[in-house]
Amino acid sequence: MDIQPTKLVQELKPYTPGEQPQEPGFIKLNTNESPYPPAPEVLRALETYDLKSLRLYPDPLCMRLRSLLAIKHKVPMDRIFVGNGSDEVLRLLFQAYVSEGETIAITDPTYSLYPVLAHIFGAEVKTFPLDHEGNLPRFPDLSPYRLFALANPNPPLGTFYPLGQVESLVKGAPSTLFIIDEAYVDFAEEDCVDIIRRCDNAVITRSFSKSCSLAGIRVGYVMGPLDIIQCLYKIKDSYNVCTLSQLAACAAIEAEKYYQEKADLIKAEREFLTGELRRLDFKVYNSKGNFVFAETADGKALYEYLKERKILVRYFDLPGLRNGVRISIGTHEEILALVQAVRSFIPSLRDKSRS
Amino acid sequence: MDIQPTKLVQELKPYTPGEQPQEPGFIKLNTNESPYPPAPEVLRALETYDLKSLRLYPDPLCMRLRSLLAIKHKVPMDRIFVGNGSDEVLRLLFQAYVSEGETIAITDPTYSLYPVLAHIFGAEVKTFPLDHEGNLPRFPDLSPYRLFALANPNPPLGTFYPLGQVESLVKGAPSTLFIIDEAYVDFAEEDCVDIIRRCDNAVITRSFSKSCSLAGIRVGYVMGPLDIIQCLYKIKDSYNVCTLSQLAACAAIEAEKYYQEKADLIKAEREFLTGELRRLDFKVYNSKGNFVFAETADGKALYEYLKERKILVRYFDLPGLRNGVRISIGTHEEILALVQAVRSFIPSLRDKSRS
């Protein structure tokens, strides 16, 4: 007799992360990793750690890391929760605050994990389409929604919504929990941290994966009201963040100058790529992330064409996204190689539209 | 207006992990860590890894680690799931297979995380008391229970149940999912892996934390029927296991000889400690873990007495466990220091029973 999972799990269509090719030789512009290595301070911290101490459990409460984050953001450390990547943080927020049958709200498009998390915990999803430039629409009353997950900058388009606009949304629906997902905020010009100083119904999530070049260590965090942070600590796995990951994240916080320089390089490269692709007649959204979304006649054809040439970008087989690809910002050499490949793709595109 | 979590989370009494003291100088015998460092092979793998690659996401499917585990256990790799510690594995099993209002079964005592996981997902818990020697009782029909979580060896007493006995239980309730938690099995004489070759309603969970001296890296796994493993992959966080953790675990599998030697040392030390404590008139259960449970008149007094002397053991403030402490097996020097401290405690115990 087979053991059947819960109905929710049976019906779930899981999230698909971007490819992590096992063979070498790819220019990897598909999962928004940084093209630059972690800061020298991070490498040194890992190199000088006494690896013998890995026999011991990690600090279950990430006290040192939270105290450094508290200083960085000027937020009390008991209002900060650290998780195994911001994916764990997001999952715990849904688990703690979303009950079966409730409805959560997201924009369309957005980070495609949000609807999966909603479905894992049995919630319905209401989507609000972004406008043609990727900006927020005029929203109706958001009070009926248990939770609103808003990425800012918002992948895969990368559009950014100013603090004032986001704060108005948060204040307009005080019984709705707003998750403001700032995984990409270090590539933007401002952030929304001030909202959690003024509102009790919002949290800010962050990640070390992108701007800190530490996708491999899995550290993310959330800042928000004390009672929400305490709830997450109640339900998390006991030792959710590895010892070496805590160590690397602490060192990264102290390498602000290095990471600021790298973020500036990535932003400059993003503007360069945006310009080049527009000159090739792609529609490119104004992105404040470390990626751009470029629309053409056929996103899948471009994705496959580039993959054959050992350049990986991200294609989303989702309504509204099939005519484009998301391109992570790499080094200048990588972006030049991409632009050249895209340029060589255009004739085949024209052939296609002629045929 | 405060944002309230779900009723389940509001009512939850969370799991409390053992203390991880921030000050140095403790003899730490409270969380069943190994007193020995990770194998030289593990240290070498971490030391020679190109840390710059941490900018990339980990392999979301842990392919190399699973292929090594497949060879080690002679189990196909698609029947193995790797998680962020066996705690994540256990949580995902409960999440995928336990619905609100169902009842799961455990022994009393056992790993105190199981009832917490049940409550997180809204299930009731039926407990079956172990007998006076810590052995399994005669069970009624277990079919009414959705899931049976059985640790083997079974903390905090450490008693072990032979393969034949466990297999009978599994076969007797084919619609109940048996989680056989073998976190401590490397300190026992046999394991129950053969059960998953013969039954569709059992999984085996394992950990790198104890016998592989790698509590700090958070890697655990589960082996079982293909459909169960696929369910866990559906609902896990995308990149749940850190790059360095996967690397360390792979190296640990290849250091079998080192870890076998250390397990033998720990088993010998466990028998030494058991004998010493029994000579001091403690009731000590026959443990096959890397710990023993010693009963006296007042577990809390012993725990506090030892803590004052900078020796940490584990006291459980739970019915049936308050008259004892669980002592992790340390080095011979640590165990000698513990025995000496316990010996000095006995007069105060006698004074207390006289007063």
Residue B291 sits in a domain of what CATH number? 3.90.1150.10
- Residues A114 and A49 placed together within one structural domain of the fold: yes
| CB-based contact A51:B47 (threshold 8 Å) | yes
Is A201 in contact with B1 (Cβ distance < 8 A)?
yes
Domain C-terminal end among B222, B254, B286: B254
| B81 in a structural domain | yes
| B26 in a structural domain | yes
Is B235 in contact with A12 (Cβ distance < 8 A)?
yes
Specify which residues B325 forms β-bridges with: B294
The predicted structure's pLDDT at residue A23: 84
Q: Give B-chain residues touching A196 at CB under 8 angstroms.
A: none
Is B200 in contact with A1 (Cβ distance < 8 A)?
yes
Q: Can you give the pTM of this predicted structure?
A: 0.96
∠ CA B151-B152-B153 to the nearest 5 degrees? 110
Mean local confidence (pLDDT), B336-353: 84
Mean local confidence (pLDDT), A276-281: 96
Mean local confidence (pLDDT), A51-63: 97
Sheet of B124-129: strand order equals B80-83, B220-223, B202-207, B177-181, B147-151, B103-108, B124-129
- Residues B342 and B327 placed together within one structural domain of the fold: yes
Mutate to test the interface with A, among B1, B42, B238 (most CBs of A within 10 A): B238
Is B6 in contact with A239 (Cβ distance < 8 A)?
no
Give B133 to chain A, closest Cα distance, Å: 30
Q: How many CB pairs under 8 A join A and B?
A: 231
Whether residue B11 has pLDDT greater than 70: yes
| A219 in a structural domain | yes
Q: Give A-chain residues touching B237 at CB under 8 angstroms.
A: 84-85, 87-88, 91
| A1 in a structural domain | no
The predicted structure's pLDDT at residue A2: 77
Across the interface, of A235, A240, A248, the residue whose CB is closest to B84 is A240
| B353 in a structural domain | no
- Residues B290 and B330 placed together within one structural domain of the fold: yes
Give B130 to chain A, closest Cα distance, Å: 26
| B338 in a structural domain | yes
Specify which residues A128 forms β-bridges with: A107
Using 50, 70 and 90 to split pLDDT, how confident is the model at A138? very high
How many C-beta atoms surround the C-beta of residue A165 within 10 A?
A: 13
| B355 in a structural domain | no
Tens of pLDDT along B202-260? 999 999 999 999 999 999 999 999 999 999 999 999 999 999 999 999 999 999 999 99
Is the bond leading into A156 cis (omega within 30 degrees of zero)?
yes
Whether residue A41 has pLDDT greater than 60: yes
- Residues B78 and B33 placed together within one structural domain of the fold: no
The predicted structure's pLDDT at residue B303: 96
Tens of pLDDT along B46-70? 999 999 999 999 999 999 999 999 9
Q: Give A-chain residues touching B228 at CB under 8 angstroms.
A: 3, 5
The predicted structure's pLDDT at residue B1: 53
The predicted structure's pLDDT at residue A347: 79
The predicted structure's pLDDT at residue B19: 84
B-chain residue closest to A48, CA distance? B47
Tens of pLDDT along A214-240? 999 999 999 999 999 999 999 999 999
- Residues A194 and A227 placed together within one structural domain of the fold: yes
* Beta-sheet strands, E only, within chain A: 27-28, 80-83, 103-108, 124-129, 147-151, 177-181, 202-207, 220-223, 283-284, 291-295, 311-312, 324-328
- Residues A28 and A52 placed together within one structural domain of the fold: no
Across the interface, of B63, B174, B237, the residue whose CB is closest to A88 is B237
Is B235 in contact with A52 (Cβ distance < 8 A)?
no
Q: How many domains does chain B have?
A: 2
| CB-based contact B86:B183 (threshold 8 Å) | yes
User: pLDDT exceeding 70 applies to what percent of chain B?
Assistant: 98
B-chain residue closest to A241, CA distance? B218
Q: Give B-chain residues touching A17 at CB under 8 angstroms.
A: 57, 60, 238-239
Average pLDDT score over chain A: 96
Closest to A181 measured CA to CA, from A150, A224, A147: A150
Across the interface, of B47, B58, B235, the residue whose CB is closest to A120 is B235
Is A2 in contact with B120 (Cβ distance < 8 A)?
no
Whether residue B349 has pLDDT greater than 70: no
The predicted structure's pLDDT at residue A350: 65
Give B350 to chain A, closest Cα distance, Å: 35
- Residues B215 and B278 placed together within one structural domain of the fold: no
Whether residue B352 has pLDDT greater than 80: no
Mutate to test the interface with A, among B66, B196, B218 (most CBs of A within 10 A): B218
Which of A108-112, A186-190, A343-347, B34-38 is predicted with the least confidence, judged by mean pLDDT?
A343-347
- Residues B232 and B139 placed together within one structural domain of the fold: yes
- CA-CA distance, A293 to A285, in Å (whole number)? 6
Q: Give B-chain residues touching A123 at CB under 8 angstroms.
A: none
Across the interface, of B20, B84, B245, the residue whose CB is closest to A57 is B20
Using 50, 70 and 90 to split pLDDT, how confident is the model at A346? confident
Whether residue A355 has pLDDT greater than 80: no
- Two tokens, residue A159: 């559009």
User: pLDDT exceeding 70 applies to what percent of chain A?
Assistant: 98
The predicted structure's pLDDT at residue B175: 97
Q: Give A-chain residues touching B3 at CB under 8 angstroms.
A: 97, 175, 177, 200-201, 225, 227-228
The predicted structure's pLDDT at residue B133: 96
Contacts of A342 (CB under 8 A, 6+ apart): A277, A280, A282, A302, A306
Q: Give A-chain residues touching B241 at CB under 8 angstroms.
A: 218
A-chain residue closest to B64, CA distance? A22
Tens of pLDDT along B298-339? 899 999 999 999 999 999 999 999 999 999 999 999 999 999
- CA-CA distance, A97 to A131, in Å (whole number)? 29
- Residues A227 and A135 placed together within one structural domain of the fold: yes
Mean local confidence (pLDDT), B168-179: 98
Specify which residues B295 forms β-bridges with: B283, B324
| CB-based contact B16:A233 (threshold 8 Å) | no
Which domain covers residue A338, as residue numbers? 7-37+257-354
Q: Give A-chain residues touching B239 at CB under 8 angstroms.
A: 17, 85, 87, 215, 218
The predicted structure's pLDDT at residue B23: 84
The predicted structure's pLDDT at residue A46: 98
B-chain residue closest to A34, CA distance? B55
- CA-CA distance, A32 to A215, in Å (whole number)? 9
Q: Chain-centre distance of CA A96, in angstroms?
A: 20
CA-to-CA dists, residue A44 to A48, A255, B187, B347, angstroms: 6, 11, 36, 51
Give B186 to chain A, closest Cα distance, Å: 16
Which amino acid would we find at residue B210? K
The predicted structure's pLDDT at residue A269: 98
CA-to-CA dists, residue B152 to A190, A247, B12, angstroms: 53, 33, 26
Give B153 to chain A, closest Cα distance, Å: 20
- Residues A169 and A94 placed together within one structural domain of the fold: yes
Contacts of A16 (CB under 8 A, 6+ apart): none
CA-to-CA dists, residue A301 to A323, A329, A330, A350, A353, angstroms: 9, 20, 21, 12, 12
- Two tokens, residue B141: 């029909």
Whether residue B102 has pLDDT greater than 70: yes
| CB-based contact B155:B291 (threshold 8 Å) | yes
Cα of first residue to Cα of last residue in chain A, in angstroms, is: 55
Mean local confidence (pLDDT), A277-293: 97
Mutate to test the interface with B, among A235, A241, A290, A329 (most CBs of B within 10 A): A235
Mean local confidence (pLDDT), A194-223: 98
- Two tokens, residue B347: 């007069």
The predicted structure's pLDDT at residue A91: 98
Q: Give A-chain residues touching B98 at CB under 8 angstroms.
A: 6
The predicted structure's pLDDT at residue B26: 95
The predicted structure's pLDDT at residue B181: 98
Whether residue B25 has pLDDT greater than 80: yes
How many C-beta atoms surround the C-beta of residue A267 within 10 A?
A: 19
Across the interface, of B58, B218, B225, the residue whose CB is closest to A239 is B218
- CA-CA distance, B122 to B144, in Å (whole number)? 16
Give A280 to chain B, closest Cα distance, Å: 30
- Residues B91 and B102 placed together within one structural domain of the fold: yes
Tens of pLDDT along A16-36? 888 888 788 999 999 999 999
Q: Give B-chain residues touching A88 at CB under 8 angstroms.
A: 237
The predicted structure's pLDDT at residue B227: 97
∠ CA A127-A119-A138 to the nearest 5 degrees? 15
Average pLDDT score over chain B: 96
B-chain residue closest to A234, CA distance? B14
Domain C-terminal end among B195, B224, B254: B254
Which amino acid would we find at residue A110? T
Across the interface, of A34, A47, A177, the residue whose CB is closest to B55 is A34
Helix/strand/coil percentages in chain A, nearest 5:
45, 15, 40
Domain C-terminal end among B254, B287, B310: B254
Whether residue A353 has pLDDT greater than 80: no
- Residues A218 and A240 placed together within one structural domain of the fold: yes
| A264 in a structural domain | yes
∠ CA B137-B143-B147 to the nearest 5 degrees? 80
Mean local confidence (pLDDT), A157-166: 98
Q: What is the CATH number of the domain that holds B68?
A: 3.40.640.10
Is A9 in contact with B60 (Cβ distance < 8 A)?
no
Contacts of A355 (CB under 8 A, 6+ apart): none
